[in-house]
Copies of this chain bind each other. A is one copy, B any other.
């Protein structure tokens, strides 16, 4: 194998691909990244079985071939090696991949290509199209609400639900729930599947808000799903099982409706969180009344903190407490200038919505304080 490429292309591709290199692998081969050069394309594979990544970059292949080397080290060296173009090569029956730059060289021991679990292109008949920006918003507005790894498996992922021309994503840890939906330009057959949060977080890392708004093809079968866009392919296993019905946990009425500036409310929550962190249950208290929100928290060991925020409040005055992370998390993803908070009483869930977006709902269960 022998090919020439731009260092920046290879570095960018590896930076993403290393995300699917196993951190504590069961077998050494999973520390590897697989590369295959042919013609004008290098294909890079990484696979930790939960997530698989394929990235293609343009190269100039002199001798086609394939190789597996330690992924983390390959990325470290390619990132740091001087020069603009690199030559990567191995010799038949050698066990070394050479990376040559102007004044520097690296040799990495190779591993067996046949042992490496190459990522399979999804051949699923089922697929739909979505814009990268839409997909990014759906993921980032829900994925934070998933349950931790040690919970029921189905709640460690986000549920995708497709119905006609609407896509809906839901995540919950049973104490809070985030639901985002968007219209698609076309109509598709109904389907639903649960995708591990880790795969979605990996995908988020590749879709920058500054990127051109691309088309993503999502192909799925019963056990796997693949996102394809822009010479990048991210495959993910699906989590078995389905979400229980969640519609009824979203309160449909409220007796107190609050509208408050998103940035001001977020700042108040983040400030008082410094004290909530010192309490046993991360508790933050909200007192709604007189068109004012008092955000406060008290710790018996450290003291107390309070911040006032002006708000429009319709309906009854109310005092209600939450785990501060449940509120701080949603305030990080609210995009509208103001946020609506619907409340009923101090034991009933609060509902966060964006005034200009019917598609987003976040529900948080209060703590009894």
Contact = CB atoms under 8 A, between A and B. Distances in A.
A185 to B, nearest CB: 44
A313 B303 CA distance: 66
Contacts of A333: none
A183 interface: no
A70 B91 CA distance: 64
A309 B73 CA distance: 23
Contact of A109 (B97, B109, B302): B302
Contacts of A96: 303
A67 to B, nearest CB: 12
Interface residues of A, number: 32
Interface string A93-112: 00011000001111111000
Contacts of A80: 270-271, 274
A80 B276 CA distance: 14
Contacts of A64: none
Nearest to A274: B76
Interface of A: 70, 73, 76-77, 80-82, 96-97, 103-109, 267-268, 270-271, 274-275, 278, 301-309
Given A73-B278, A103-B309, 7 more contacts: A77-B275, A80-B271, A103-B307, A105-B305, A105-B306, A106-B304, A106-B305
